Amino acid sequence: MAQGQMAPGIVAGRLSSEELAANFDDLHPAYAPHEAAVAADRCYFCYDAPCQTACPTEIDIPLFIRQIQTGHPEAAARTILEQNILGGMCARVCPTETLCEEACVREAAEGKPVEIGRLQRYATDTLMARGVHPFTRAAPSGKRVAVVGAGPAGLACAHRLALLGHDVVIHEARPKAGGLNEFGIAAYKATGGFAGTEVDWLLQIGGITVEQGSALGQGLTLDALRAGYDAVFLSIGLAGVNALRAAGEDKDGVRDAVDFIAELRQAGDLSALPVGRNVVVIGGGMTAIDAAVQSKLLGAENVTVAYRRSRAEMGASGFEQDLAASKGVRLMFNVMPVAVHGNGAAVEIELEYTTSAGGSVTGTGETVRLAADQVFKAIGQTLEGVPEGLELEGRKIKVDGSGRTSVPGVWAGGDCASGGEDLTVTAVAEGRDAAMDIHARLSA
């Protein structure tokens, strides 16, 4: 089979349009007003607010829930958005079960936390439905800042800088802004084109220009940005994907999970999107679960997530693991790929059983083969195209607590920067905090 030709088992239209619409419906339906009021009544409004401490953006959760309880969801939204301008998307995609809701006193006492994420969505959706931006931009400062990358960190940084009166130009390689919110989140978590709607709403602050098709290494250099702007913020994400390092990974039917998710998110007709009959996803993070669940929802008959470590070491939360299992996805632990078999196209994948201890993974020599006409790689992404002069920490750009890099006048945040977790909410916090540090420097 010629390289690039579709493998025989990977076909479109495994399910009807009606079945696909039902499968990809909203994972957590929005609250109606009376439901939000009932949910808000469950909050104890703790004086020490462990939920707020657990939130990377430090939203005053008891305050916004009290505002919902008293019938003021738009005031609640402002409380949220003052700390997290992408609060609408974070309400949909945050792993609240391991952040604010895990810290909720109701969770500890009853095993059922206040549904903080859904309450946050209720508030932000109510405000955004009005089409009015809640913040007013300060007087122009005369300063210009370049933001490279229109993902969560870049958008949060740009909005805060614009709010403070600076002019911002966002350089974005892709034809749409949003980063992982637009291209990398499971479709059932952000339905109805919400990512794009939120970006358009955010830009209403004014003072922000988005230049698409503009990226470092494609006619854009860090030196030129430093010369042309008063400050630079890098939020370039992680564009590369780690290799399987298994024989046969170049066969047809083997592809990157992030590309599959992006293709699905941008598909106008899900019934036209091909998927395998037997799908195996290699990895243990959120991307692996998203790819696996969506494969099943597209009509794949057998879907397996194969992870080289134990269940306890899996990056995906218990909620995500349970979601995958509820959709019929098989989870295999302590297995790693050693070969993809097939004559030109994937037919089987061979996995070796492992043991994991002390941070290292060791193969046992025992193997098993699974039918696999489609194999998705979800084993981590890597930084690509790092400008010269930037110091790295591990595989990411080294930054201090304010997002400053080793190059004067250059800040970084989001997945490309060291520290923190690769979460939308963490990226927002890093972009926001870097903006405040940039503002302080420009105002000195």
pLDDT tens-digit map of 44-62: 999 999 999 999 999 999 9
Percent of the residues in the chain that have a pLDDT greater than 70, as a whole number = 98
Residue 128 has pLDDT above 70, yes or no: yes
Stated as kind and residue range, the H or E segment containing 45 is none
* Mean per-residue pLDDT over the chain, rounded: 95
pLDDT tens-digit map of 234-268: 999 998 888 999 999 999 999 999 999 999 999 99
C-alpha to C-alpha distance for 279 and 292, rounded to whole angstroms: 8
CB atoms within 10 A of CB 109: 10
C-alpha to C-alpha distance for 61 and 50, rounded to whole angstroms: 9
What's residue 240's pLDDT? 85
What's residue 5's pLDDT? 53
Residue 305 has pLDDT above 80, yes or no: yes
Nearest in space to 228 (alpha carbons), one of 148, 116, 322: 148
Per the CB < 8 A criterion, the answer to whether 234 and 397 are in contact is yes
Nearest in space to 8 (alpha carbons), one of 369, 342, 368: 342
For residue 210 the two structure tokens come to 């988005």
What's residue 6's pLDDT? 62
Residue 172 has pLDDT above 60, yes or no: yes
Strands 396-397 and 392-393 turn out to be antiparallel
C-alpha to C-alpha distance for 308 and 287, rounded to whole angstroms: 15
* 33-41 and 116-129 helices, crossing angle to 10°: 140
DSSP 18-34: HHHHHHTS-SSPPPPHH
Residue 2 has pLDDT above 80, yes or no: no
pLDDT tens-digit map of 95-124: 999 999 999 999 999 999 999 999 999 999
For residue 228 the two structure tokens come to 């042309």
Per the CB < 8 A criterion, the answer to whether 230 and 140 are in contact is no
pLDDT tens-digit map of 341-371: 999 999 999 999 999 888 899 999 999 999 9
Residue 419 has pLDDT above 90, yes or no: no
C-alpha to C-alpha distance for 305 and 403, rounded to whole angstroms: 35
Q: What's the pLDDT band for 132 if we cut at 50, 70, 90?
A: confident
Q: What's the pLDDT band for 130 if we cut at 50, 70, 90?
A: very high
What's residue 219's pLDDT? 83
For residue 250 the two structure tokens come to 């170049």
Alpha-helix runs per DSSP H in 130-280: 152-163, 180-183, 194-202, 222-228, 257-266
CB atoms within 10 A of CB 372: 30
Spatial neighbors of 134 by CB under 8 A, at least 6 apart, are: 74, 77, 78, 81, 127
Question: 100-104: which pairs have CB atoms within 8 A and are 24 or more residues apart?
Answer: 100/51, 100/52, 100/54, 100/55, 100/61, 101/51, 102/54, 103/50, 103/51, 103/53, 103/54, 104/50, 104/51
For residue 129 the two structure tokens come to 């439905």
C-alpha to C-alpha distance for 11 and 96, rounded to whole angstroms: 35
What's residue 4's pLDDT? 46
The amino acid present at 396, given as its one-letter code, is: K
**pTM for the predicted model, two decimal places:** 0.95
Residue 190 has pLDDT above 60, yes or no: yes
What's residue 413's pLDDT? 97
For residue 163 the two structure tokens come to 């709010």
Domains, the chain, in order of start with CATH, read: 33-129 (1.10.1060.10), 144-239+383-443 (3.50.50.60), 242-377 (3.50.50.60)
Spatial neighbors of 367 by CB under 8 A, at least 6 apart, are: 338, 350, 351, 352, 353
What's residue 3's pLDDT? 42
Residue 26 has pLDDT above 50, yes or no: yes
